[in-house]
């Protein structure tokens, strides 16, 4: 509840939140801003995309465990967004999560990762209309966590932000 109140007080309209079926454990989050110098921002302008819609599902023991976060729309390519809208970010895993993280901080990190990973709005005929599914996102996320646990995560240089 505190997280929801903190987001409603953000002055920069970076994100906005709607509860899914009035549940405090299931949020749809609209990411309204990414780096205005990025190709993704340009894509958003060219396609009249006002926001990137994500879904966050919080476990009962939040903030001690991370939320499951996935992209709903638009369909994105690259930017660490994988099949089903799964997001490849260490901080969304149990090992990478800290109870000190706020939803706002996670969303700001996600926005930076999208740009850093050269995320683009998919415009390929047929593929751009296919929606992401939760089942596919969960399977993809589970697989990527297993891969990174085996091979490690690459930590970008400090100079990369």
Q: How confident is the model at residue 58 (pLDDT cuts 50, 70, 90)?
A: very high
Give me the mean pLDDT over the 5-26 stretch. 87
Domain boundaries in the chain? 2-149
Q: How far apart are CA 20 and CA 23, in angstroms?
A: 6
Contact call for residues 136 and 142 (beta carbons, < 8 A)? no
The CATH superfamily of 2-149 is Ubiquitin Conjugating Enzyme (3.10.110.10)
For residue range 77-131, list pLDDT tens digits in order.
988 998 889 999 999 999 999 999 999 999 999 999 999 999 999 987 666 566 7
pLDDT at 161: 43
Among residues 40, 88, 89, 144, the one annotated as catalytic is 88
Structural tokens at position 44: 């958003």
Q: Percent of the chain having pLDDT more than 90?
A: 63
Q: How many angstroms separate the Cα of 50 from the Cα of each of 30, 44, 134?
A: 9, 7, 22
Four-CA torsion 100, 104, 109, 112, nearest 10 degrees: -160
CA-to-CA distance for 11 and 143, rounded, in angstroms? Answer: 37
Cβ count near 161 (within 10 Å): 10
Active site residue 122: no
């Amino acid at each position: 509840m505190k997280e929801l109140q903190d987001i409603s007080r953000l002055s920069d309209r970076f994100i906005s939140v709607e509860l899914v079926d009035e549940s405090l454990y299931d949020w749809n989050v609209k990411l309204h801003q990414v780096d205005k110098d990025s190709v993704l921002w340009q894509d958003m302008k060219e396609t009249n995309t006002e926001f990137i819609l994500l879904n966050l599902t919080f476990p009962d023991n939040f903030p001690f465990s991370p939320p499951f976060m996935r992209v709903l729309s638009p369909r994105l390519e690259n930017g660490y967004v994988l099949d089903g809208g799964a997001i490849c970010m260490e901080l969304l895993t149990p090992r990478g999560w800290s109870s000190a993280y706020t939803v706002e901080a996670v969303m700001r990190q996600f926005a930076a990762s999208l740009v850093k990973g050269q995320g683009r709005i998919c415009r390929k005929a047929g593929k751009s209309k296919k929606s992401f599914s939760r089942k596919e996102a969960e399977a993809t996320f589970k697989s990527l966590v297993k891969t990174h646990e085996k091979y490690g995560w690459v930590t970008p240089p400090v100079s990369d932000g």
